Amino acid sequence: MVKASLSPASERTLYILGAGAIGSLWAAYGYQAGADIRLILRDQNTLGHYRQHGGIRLISANQTWLCPIPADCPESISTPIQHLLITTKAQQTLDALRCIKSHIATQAVMVLLQNGLGIVEQIRREFPRATVLQGSTTEACYQQNRFEYVHAGRGHTFIGSTENDQRTVLLELAESLSFPPLQLSVSDNIDAVLWRKLAINCVINPLTVIHRCRNGELLNSSERRAQIQQIVNEILALSSVLGRSEWVANLYELVTEVATTTAANRSSMLQDVEAGRDTEIDAITGYVCQLAEQHNTPAPMNKQLLDDIKRLPKVTRC
């Protein structure tokens, strides 16, 4: 097993791949805390626009800061990447990593902080000697303008690993990525945290797209509540086959609670569909459908939602 450490000062730079809402949130608070951070932007053109803008602007609780965080694009990276926080959308992750593959140290430590499942296994296959840890956050952030982000809701972030001997790395990382007010904790069962989040997203994300509604409006009619129940039932059946029932025992109540506390929000999947962007459906509902098929467990409603959302039109970008 790879032993990784954050200690040597020369290897301390934290690179952030995916300088969108969540990546910029970490980068901006990290910058304010004096951490050694570099953003990795998509290309030279984006880097030029970023420099013209002067940095990331973070808006939080009526305060606004312009943070001139150092940034690179794949062509300009000049030191080996030892520590990498990955905050791309799930479907963007592998392409983005491949663009910087030659700069990633063989034994790099990566933290994958995103929704959806199935990506970490693909990263581990491409970077077999790297330490790849997973995280899940309930912080809420959205883009207001280019390179300008609003920290819209406070949450908590867990990181973890299924490998027991990575506890020391995890504790170091949790501390070094807890830029105030962001708080990270080590979870002893990150698989449970991620599965629960996936299950909730499987309900709220696709249904808000199908009904083109805000999260809270999912609870407005008996027809929508019945759809929630059906997705929940399919995930509970699959969880039972996988021995994960305990992780989602109160799933219907959890979904109702999230839909109520985030009632005014438009889910990220709805925002992506409305902007004609690719969605994270493959890593969310698609992941559940794949497991259901492997384990011969019926999941017709999830399958229907997967097909419906994948058929929606996308905007072609040059």
Query: Smallest gap, in angstroms, from Cβ of residue 119 to ligand NAP?
Result: 9
Point out the residue whose Cβ comes nearest to ligand NAP. Answer: 20
User: Within 13 Å and on the Cβ side, how many CA atoms surround 9?
Assistant: 0
Provide the H-helix boundaries in the chain: 21-32, 44-53, 93-99, 119-126, 167-176, 190-210, 222-241, 251-261, 268-274, 285-294, 300-310
Residue carrying structure tokens 């929940």 = 232
Q: Which of 28, 37, 120, 141 binds ligand NAP (CB under 6 A)?
A: 141
Query: What's the token pair of residue 49?
Result: 């626009």
| Residue 98 and residue 88 in contact, taking contact as beta carbons nearer than 8 Å | no
What is the strand order of the sheet 63-67 is part of?
63-67, 56-60, 148-153, 140-145
Residue carrying structure tokens 């990331």 = 56
Query: Smallest gap, in angstroms, from Cβ of residue 191 to ligand NAP?
Result: 17
The interface with ligand NAP within residues 66-95 (CB under 6 A) comprises: 87-90, 92, 95
| By CB under 6 A, residue 22 contacts ligand NAP | yes
| By CB under 6 A, residue 140 contacts ligand NAP | yes
Q: Which is nearer to ligand NAP, 204 or 233 (CB)?
A: 204
Distance between CA atoms of residues 179 and 176, nearest Å:
7
Q: Where does residue 212 fall: left (phi above 0), alpha (psi -120 to 50 degrees), or beta otherwise? A: left
Q: Which of 2, 66, 94, 99 binds ligand NAP (CB under 6 A)?
A: 99
The interface with ligand NAP within residues 240-269 (CB under 6 A) comprises: 268
What is the b/e burial string over 250-260, where b = at least 16 CB atoms within 10 angstroms of the residue's CB? Answer: ebbebbbebbe
Segment contacting ligand NAP (CB under 6 A): 5-13, 40-48, 172-180, 295-303?
40-48
Q: Which is nearer to ligand NAP, 137 or 161 (CB)?
A: 137
Distance between CA atoms of residues 101 and 103, nearest Å:
5
| By CB under 6 A, residue 157 contacts ligand NAP | no
Integer-rounded Cα Rg, in Å, for the chain is 19
Query: What's the token pair of residue 274?
Result: 């409305």
Distance between CA atoms of residues 200 and 44, nearest Å:
38
Q: Which of 31, 71, 111, 114 binds ligand NAP (CB under 6 A)?
A: 114
| Residue 30 and residue 14 in contact, taking contact as beta carbons nearer than 8 Å | yes
Segment contacting ligand NAP (CB under 6 A): 17-25, 59-67, 212-220, 224-232?
17-25
| By CB under 6 A, residue 285 contacts ligand NAP | no
Provide the H-helix boundaries in 18-87: 21-32, 44-53
The interface with ligand NAP within residues 182-211 (CB under 6 A) comprises: none
Segment contacting ligand NAP (CB under 6 A): 13-21, 50-58, 164-172, 231-239?
13-21
Q: Which is nearer to ligand NAP, 140 or 219 (CB)?
A: 140
Q: Which is nearer to ligand NAP, 201 or 239 (CB)?
A: 201
Q: Which is nearer to ligand NAP, 41 or 182 (CB)?
A: 41
**What positions carry a catalytic annotation?**
197
| By CB under 6 A, residue 115 contacts ligand NAP | yes
Query: Smallest gap, in angstroms, from Cβ of residue 292 to ligand NAP?
Result: 21
Query: Smallest gap, in angstroms, from Cβ of residue 296 to ligand NAP?
Result: 29
User: Which one, of 233, 172, 191, lies nearest residue 8 by Cα?
Assistant: 172
Q: Which is nearer to ligand NAP, 21 or 292 (CB)?
A: 21
**Interface ranges with ligand NAP (CB under 6 A):** 17-23, 40-42, 46, 87-90, 92, 95-96, 99, 114-115, 137, 139-141, 143, 268, 280
